[in-house]
Structure 1
Amino acid sequence: MTSVTMGTLSRAGELAGDLGGAELPLVLTPAEAGADWRSCIEDIRLSVDRHLHRVGGLLLRGFGFSGEDDFEVFARSFGHDLLSYDYASTPRTRLNKGVYTSTEYPAHQVIPLHNEQSYTLQWPMKIWFHSVHVAESGGETPIADSREVYRCLDAGLRRRFADRGLMYVRNYGNGLDLPWQQAFNTEDRAVVENFCRANRIDFEWKPDGELRTRQRCQAVAAHPVTGEMVWFNQAHLFHLSSLAPQMRETLLSVVGEAELPRNVYYGDGAPIEESALDEIRGVLGDCQVVFPWQKGDVMMLDNMLVAHGRSTYRGERKVVVAMAEPCPQAE
């Protein structure tokens, strides 16, 4: 982890924990203690312009951010409309226009590293996190450089995934996953169908009225600005092997593989080897950087360059999220 000195910004102190000399994230703090972020916004923007594509993530600490309203104003100050969480894969609550709670999974559950909405053909290029309330223990947001993950994976595995792509299969509702109404933010089937057609998602309405979708997506991608290759998918989250063994066996016995809430295959529909997914999870773990949140922190990531997750925690925790700048849809 490194820090920067520039104008109204100053060097940040070392964060607790052994980060192994990691540069990610770049830490920004105000030169004068207690300074409001608005008085530093031009230097913050300049730091983002200079460093975000190089490092991938910036952590702003000590700038007096005070909740989701203030956070929304800050995120909008970069000149992009904030995105709605459409085609959702996890439960969240919308707080303001474009500001959401982080994924509402139980505190005992780890959220593995992932790039936001990399299970789609269009995703946000920028994502912000704001720590409103720090957990009693745990609750960190681990991050990892997706370029490093790509480099560390076996070259043969990378080529196989890149050449074959991925096919994500989702079965909505039935008490097992998000209902399609929540995932697509609508009660109107026609809206869902139009969204699917526009985003090259195959869909079918099942006899019980529930929805199944299939979408073929990338496994790796080139960053549109830097040209660097990144590991960019959620195969290790969607795959059946991500479930705890007992849950996996129960679901297979009750609904069968075809009706699982979510699963992923190679783009041609062939099964993905669990050994490959184990390797991917191992590399993600080796590449992750973990630091403790402080109240008021804001972290800004280039969503293609840096993956994020969530540690287990105890006590109350509140981290809110905003996203912006949709990428050009892949061909």
Structure 2
Amino acid sequence: MEVKVFAEVQLPQQRVYSSGVCFPLVLAPNPSSHVPYSFSEAIRAHNPWLQSRLHDAGAILFRGFSVKTASDFNDVVEAFGFDELPYVGGAAPRTKVVGRVFTANESPPDQKIPFHHEMAQVPEFPSKLFFFCEVEPGSGGETPIVLSHVVYERMKERHPDFVQQLEEHGLIYTRILGEDDDPSSPIGRGWKSTFLTKDKTIAEERAARLGTKLEWFDDGVKTVMGPIPAIKIDQSRNRKVWFNSMVAAYTGWDDARNDPVKAVTFGDGSPLPAQIIFDCQKILEEECAAIPWQKGDILLLDNCAVLHSRRSFDQPRRILASLCK
């Protein structure tokens, strides 16, 4: 199908693989197109083509389209037709903005957020993620992304025994939550927000559906998630992917309540080797693409194929997000 509305553009921060795939794919308005589509109408008209391109690339950055507000962004998300995923079980402090749109992680700007697949620590995770740059950063603040199967292949080559242990045992994630959100922490979502209830009985029921055990304290709760697989098979692409939050938990789940070293273990409870986790962190940085945000940018990620992170930044910066089944 000939698509005249979208033009593929090249940016210096993209990665280009030997297969010819550009990561991420960057689409802009086609300057020679005179089709009177709005952006949302163009998405609806060319949705199968866009989803095919997303499948090939794993991530699409839309740049230069007329998306100015949270409501505009919500219209774009709706145009793709994905079902909404309620944010139950996630760790990031977020605030609902409009419709299906939330703030991205609200932790302080000096904090980096390590690479992770969104909600990889629970069984019900989004298949697609949208990010929108409402206010571009003063400096920094990129959202680096990396192809998960590339990370798996490099880890398998460098640490085959470790990867085999992961495949056999999976991972257990442990996190201590307060009652209310702690905006000073990148994992500061309290249990009431995490389980979308103030009722401990309902929280228990929702945790159980996620395979999560709860141990209550006077001022909070300990959550134990897993064992849960750390390596998955991407069925649509027929390849293994590094689908976990191991590096994020071990290096980033650090606040007044949580010790990151205790936050993640092998599924049999044994500790993870620190030197291999830090080597994995190095691989993630080596393989990532980090394109500076511009106002109006929308980044669409296939959550099964791509890990993402956040670099520290100087304010102002406002990135919004939406999660889809």
Q: Which whole-Å deviations, capped at 9, do the CAs of 1:141-180 have from their partners, x for residues lacking one?
A: 1110011111111332221111111011111118784321
CA 230–202 in structure 1, closer or farther in 2 if over 3 Å, else same: same
User: Any unmatched runs of 5+ in structure 1?
Assistant: 326-331
Q: Is the 8 A contact 1:88 1:182 kept in 2?
A: no
Q: Is the 8 A contact 1:6 1:43 kept in 2?
A: no
Aligned positions of 1:1-331 closer than 5 A: 6-12=3-9, 14-15=10-11, 17-19=12-14, 21=16, 23-32=22-31, 36-42=38-44, 44-153=46-155, 154=158, 155-173=160-178, 177-206=188-217, 208-216=218-226, 217-239=228-250, 241-242=251-252, 263-325=263-325
CA 261–105 in structure 1, closer or farther in 2 if over 3 Å, else same: farther
Pick which of 275-284 and 168-177 moved more: 168-177
Q: Name the SS of the counterpart of 1:122 in structure 2.
A: coil
Q: Is the 8 A contact 1:115 1:306 kept in 2?
A: yes
Q: Name the SS of the counterpart of 1:92 in structure 2.
A: coil
**% of aligned pairs identical?**
27
Q: How big is the shift at 1:102?
A: 0.7
CA 97–86 in structure 1, closer or farther in 2 if over 3 Å, else same: farther
CA 88–261 in structure 1, closer or farther in 2 if over 3 Å, else same: farther
**C-alpha separation in 2, matches of 1:93 and 1:278:** 32
2:231 counterpart letter in structure 1: V
**C-alpha separation in 1, matches of 2:175 and 2:293:** 33
Q: Is the 8 A contact 1:82 1:97 kept in 2?
A: no
CA 91–69 in structure 1, closer or farther in 2 if over 3 Å, else same: same
Q: How big is the shift at 1:273?
A: 1.1
Q: How big is the shift at 1:113?
A: 1.5
Q: How big is the shift at 1:86?
A: 1.3
Question: RMSD between aligned alpha carbons?
Answer: 2.5
CA 76–222 in structure 1, closer or farther in 2 if over 3 Å, else same: same
Q: How big is the shift at 1:18?
A: 4.5
CA 310–26 in structure 1, closer or farther in 2 if over 3 Å, else same: same
Q: Is the 8 A contact 2:24 2:60 kept in 1?
A: yes
Aligned to 1:328: none
Q: Name the SS of the counterpart of 1:27 in structure 2.
A: strand
Q: How big is the shift at 1:211?
A: 1.3
Q: Which whole-Å deviations, capped at 9, do the CAs of 1:283-306 have from their partners, x for residues lacking one?
A: 111111011111111111100101
CA 59–47 in structure 1, closer or farther in 2 if over 3 Å, else same: farther
**C-alpha separation in 1, matches of 2:170 and 2:294:** 39
Pick which of 159-168 and 21-30 moved more: 21-30
Question: How many correspondences in the alignment?
Answer: 308
Q: How big is the shift at 1:317?
A: 0.5
Instruction: Give the TM-score of the pair, scaled to structure 2.
Output: 0.87
Q: Is the 8 A contact 1:112 1:309 kept in 2?
A: yes
CA 295–200 in structure 1, closer or farther in 2 if over 3 Å, else same: same
Q: Name the SS of the counterpart of 2:80 in structure 1.
A: coil
Q: Name the SS of the counterpart of 1:172 in structure 2.
A: strand
Q: Which runs of 4+ in 1 moved over 6 A?
A: none
Q: Name the SS of the counterpart of 1:129 in structure 2.
A: strand
**C-alpha separation in 1, matches of 2:315 and 2:211:** 42
CA 158–96 in structure 1, closer or farther in 2 if over 3 Å, else same: same
2:98 counterpart letter in structure 1: N
**C-alpha separation in 1, matches of 2:25 and 2:164:** 31
Q: How big is the shift at 1:103?
A: 0.3
**C-alpha separation in 2, matches of 1:69 and 1:142:** 25
Q: How big is the shift at 1:74?
A: 1.2
